[in-house]
Amino acid sequence: MADAVPVKLRRLVVVGLGLIGGSFAKGLREKGVFEEVLGVDRDPETRRLAVELGVVDRCEESLEQACREADVIQLAVPILAMEKVLAELSRYDLGNAVLTDVGSAKGNVVRAARATFGSMPPRFVPGHPIAGSEQSGVEAANAELFRRHKVILTPLADTDPQALALVDSLWCELGADVEHMDVDHHDEVLAATSHLPHLLAFTLVDSLAKRSENLEIFRYAAGGFRDFTRIAGSDPVMWHDIFLANREAVLRILDVFRGDLDALREAVDSGDGHQLLGVFTRARVAREHFSKILARRAYVDAMHNNDLIYLAQPGGSLSGRVRVPGDKSISHRSIMLGSLAEGTTEVEGFLEGEDALATIQAFRDMGVVIEGPQHGRVTVHGVGLHGLKPPPGPLYLGNSGTSMRLLSGLLAAQSFDTTLTGDASLSKRPMNRVAKPLREMGAVIETGPEGRPPLTIRGGQRLTGMNYEMPMASAQVKSCLLLAGLYAAGETAVTEPAPTRDHTERMLRGFGYPVDVQGSTARVESGHKLSATHIEVPADISSAAFFLVAASIAEGSEIVLEHVGINPTRTGVIDILKLMGADITLENQREVGGEPVADLCVRSAKLKGIDIPEDLVPLAIDEFPVLFVAAANAEGRTVLRGAEELRVKESDRIQVMADGLKALGVKCEPTPDGIIIDGGAYGGGEVWSHGDHRIAMSFSVASLRAGGPIRIHDCANVATSFPTFLGLASQTGIRVAVESN
C-alpha cells in the first residue's frame, strides 16, 4: 500500500466524465484530496450533470484551460479517443502535472503517448482499474466504485517514482488495491481474463440468436446460459474499442483457445470420455480454487486488515464424538501413488487444504484425471508408472515443500523436462538435500541460487539405485529417493539417522509394491508395479492433539476422536500426555491401507509435570505448542530439552508460546532448545500467534482453564491448515469464535 496522499493538492482534472472518470472524480472530491476537481467532457449535457450530481466542482470546455495549473490529469475517455486527447495535450505546457489514464489496454496508450509526445513523458503513469458496471455515463458515477477492487499501474523504466507514488496514493485513497505490472504483461493477462470471456459471450449469444429456432433456445435458456452470457450485455462500443486496441494479445489467447476447443470437439467426436472428464475436472477445481481465493480476500478485507482475532471465553468442558480432518502427509501420497498406479484409486478422508490440492493440480497438469475432492472423496484414474505426460508449463506447488521434494524424486526419472516452482516462502526453502542425492543417482537437476527453487529437472536420464546414508532425519528426503528408486536400475536403499514418518513405505506396500525395511534402512527396487487400491486417510493426529489436551485439562470432559492415525512415528503426543497422567484409551484399533488407526477416548485427568524424554521429541515435534498448554495445567514442573527445531518452524514456537503463556500469567522460562513450565492457575489476556496456526489453536485450548477471556491475534492461517477447527471446537465445547467488531 502506498502512503497517504502527501499534502493537499490543488487541482485534479478528469478528462471524460463517464462511469470511470466520473467515479474517480467524485470519490476524490468527497475525500477532499484536492482543492478543486475539474471536469472536461465534450458533451455539454454531461458537463451540466457532472456539476449538478456533485461529481466535480466545475467543468471546462477547453482542455487547455482546464489543464493550466493542474497537479494531476486523469484521462478517462474511451480507449480509441486516447490518442486524440494525448495529441492535444502534447501541444500544451503541462508544467509539473502528473498524467495518468484508466484505459482497459495499456500497450496502445503507451504507443500513442510516444507517438504524440516524441517519447513517453516520465510523469505519465499508465493505469487500469479492474472495476466497472454494465452502466455507463456520468449518471452512473459512484464514489465507492473502486473500493476493494484492483487497480493495475504499468509504470515504465523511466517513470518518475514521485509521480508513480502520487497516483498510487490517489487510488489507495479510493479504497483500491494497487498493483504494478509490466505493460505487455498487463495486456496478456487482461486479454485472457477479461477480453476473451467477453468475446465468447458476445459470439455465443449472437450465434444462437441468429438461428431460426432462436426463440426456442432463449425460451428454454436456463441459469447456465444466463450466467455465462451476462457479460454480453456490456457496452458494445467500449468492447469494440478494446479489441481493436489490444489486438495482438487477444489474437494470441484466441489461438490458444481455438486449439483447446478443437481438441474438445475431437474428444466429443471420437467419444473420448477420458479427455472430457480431464478437462471438466481440471476446470471445476480451478474455478473452486479461484472462488476460495476471492472469498478469503473479501473476508480479510472485511476485517480491514490481516489481523483475524479469535476470542476464547474461559471455562467449559468437552463432550461428543468428532473426526478431525485427514492426515496431510498421507493425503499427498495417496494422490502421487494413485496417479502412478494401474487402475482407479478411491481416496476417502482426503485433507482439502491448499498443500494437498497443489499436489492434485500437479498431477492433473501431467495428464492424470482426478475427480474431486468432494467431502474428502477423491477418485484418481491412475496412468501407471510410465504414463505421465509433459505438463504444459511449470508445476506450481504453492507453499508445499512436501509436494516439491517428493515430486522431484519421481520426476527425475521421467522422459520429459519439468520445472517446479512455488510461492515466496517455498522459494526460500533448501532443495539441495534432495537434489544432491538425486544427482548421485544420475538425475540432472538445476536449482536457483543456493539450491533454492525453482527446480528444473531434465527428463530422459537413466537413474541407478544407490545406498544413501541420510545426513539428517527427513521423511521427505527418504520418500523422494524411494520414489526415484521405483525407476532406478537395481536397488535403492535409504538409511536414516533417527526414525521419521514412514507413510511412503506403508502406502507403497498398500499399492502392492514391495518395500523391504530392516532397522533404519528402507529398500526398493524397480521393475514392479503399483495396483490401484482404496485409501481411507486417517484423521491427522496433529489436529487431534488439540482435542487430546483440551479434554484432558477441562474438568468433566469425555470425548472420542474417531479414526485417528496412530502410526508409531507420530504418536509422541499420546505417549507424553500419558506420562503426564492423561486418561487416553485407544479403542477399535485397526489397520487401513497399511496405516494403523484407532478411536481415541479421552477423559479429563489431573496432569503432572514431567521431564519430557528426549527420544519422544521427534515423534511429537508439531504438537509441542499444545503440549505446553498441557504443562501449564499440570501440577509441578515440565521440562523440554533437545527441541531446538521448534525455533525454526512457522514461528519461533518456543519464544512465541513463552510470550503468550507469560501474558496469561503462567510461570515459564524458554531455553535455547526447549522450555521450563511451572503449572498453576492463570488468567485471561492478549496473545499473538504470529501467523502460526498451531499457536492460535493452542491458546484457544488454554481458555478452558483460564481465569478470563483470551484474545488471540493473527489467526487467519488456521483456515488453511484446519478449516473446520472453529466448528469442531464449538461442537465439542471450546468457546472460541472470531471476534466480531
Q: Which residues contact ligand NAP by CB under 6 A?
A: 15-21, 40-43, 46, 76-79, 81, 84-85, 102-104, 128-129, 132, 136-137, 238
Residue nearer to ligand NAP on the CB measure, 48 or 84? 84
- Name residue 377's beta-bridge partners: 374
CA distance 55 to 51: 6
Q: Residues 6 or more apart from 293 whose CB is under 8 A from it?
A: none
- Residue found by looking up cell 484432558 in the block: 552
Q: Please provide residue 327's backbone torsions phi and psi, each rounded to the nearest 5 degrees.
A: -70, 130
CA distance 615 to 564: 22
Residues 319/714, Cβ–Cβ less than 8 Å: no
CA distance 640 to 630: 13
Residue nearer to ligand NAP on the CB measure, 79 or 706? 79
Dihedral of CA atoms 37, 43, 49, 50 in degrees, nearest 10, equals -20
476 known member of a binding site: yes
Q: From the CB of 127, what's the least distance to ligand NAP, in Å?
A: 9
Cβ-in-10-Å burial (0-12, 13-18, 19+) of 527 comes to: exposed
Consecutive H or E run containing 226: helix 223-229
Using CB positions, name the residue nearest to ligand NAP. 18
For the record, the C-alpha cell of 524 comes out as: 526398493
622 known member of a binding site: yes
Taken as a whole, the chain contains a residue count of 741
Residue nearer to ligand NAP on the CB measure, 134 or 248? 134
Q: From the CB of 80, what's the least distance to ligand NAP, in Å?
A: 8
653 known member of a binding site: yes
Q: At how many degrees (to 10) do helices 196-209 and 236-245 cross?
A: 130
User: What is each CA distance from 536 to 325, 340, 359, 513, 656, in whole angstroms?
Assistant: 12, 18, 18, 18, 35
- Nearest-5° Cα angle at 537, 531 to 538: 135
Q: Is 26 helix (H, G, I), strand (E, B) or coil?
A: helix
Q: How many CB atoms lie within 10 A of CB 207?
A: 10
Residue nearer to ligand NAP on the CB measure, 41 or 505? 41
Residue nearer to ligand NAP on the CB measure, 128 or 501? 128
Residue nearer to ligand NAP on the CB measure, 81 or 621? 81
For the record, the C-alpha cell of 204 comes out as: 455465443
694 known member of a binding site: yes
Q: From the CB of 221, what's the least distance to ligand NAP, in Å?
A: 25
733 known member of a binding site: no
- Nearest-5° Cα angle at 262, 259 to 264: 115
Residue nearer to ligand NAP on the CB measure, 130 or 621? 130
42 known member of a binding site: no
Q: From the CB of 246, what's the least distance to ligand NAP, in Å?
A: 10
Residue nearer to ligand NAP on the CB measure, 137 or 618? 137
Q: From the CB of 60, what's the least distance to ligand NAP, in Å?
A: 11
- Residue found by looking up cell 523436462 in the block: 417
DSSP 8-state class, residue 182 = -
Q: From the CB of 67, what's the least distance to ligand NAP, in Å?
A: 12
Q: Residues 6 or more apart from 309 whose CB is under 8 A from it?
A: 711, 712, 713, 715, 738, 739
Residue 577: name the closest of 554, 608, 614, 541 by CA.
608
662 known member of a binding site: no
- Residue found by looking up cell 504483461 in the block: 185
Cβ-in-10-Å burial (0-12, 13-18, 19+) of 164 comes to: buried
Q: From the CB of 177, what's the least distance to ligand NAP, in Å?
A: 15
How far is residue 279 CA from its own chain's centroid?
22
Beta strands 674-678 and 637-640: pairing type? antiparallel
Residue nearer to ligand NAP on the CB measure, 63 or 566? 63
Q: From the CB of 149, what's the least distance to ligand NAP, in Å?
A: 10
The catalytic site residues sit at 622
CA distance 8 to 326: 56
Residues 434/476, Cβ–Cβ less than 8 Å: yes
For the record, the C-alpha cell of 303 comes out as: 476485517
For the record, the C-alpha cell of 90 comes out as: 502534447
Q: From the CB of 209, what's the least distance to ligand NAP, in Å?
A: 23
Provide the annotated binding site for phosphoenolpyruvate: 328, 401, 429, 476, 653, 694
Provide the annotated binding site: 328-329, 333, 401, 429, 474, 476, 622, 649, 653, 694
Provide the annotated binding site for 3-phosphoshikimate: 328-329, 333, 474, 476, 622, 649
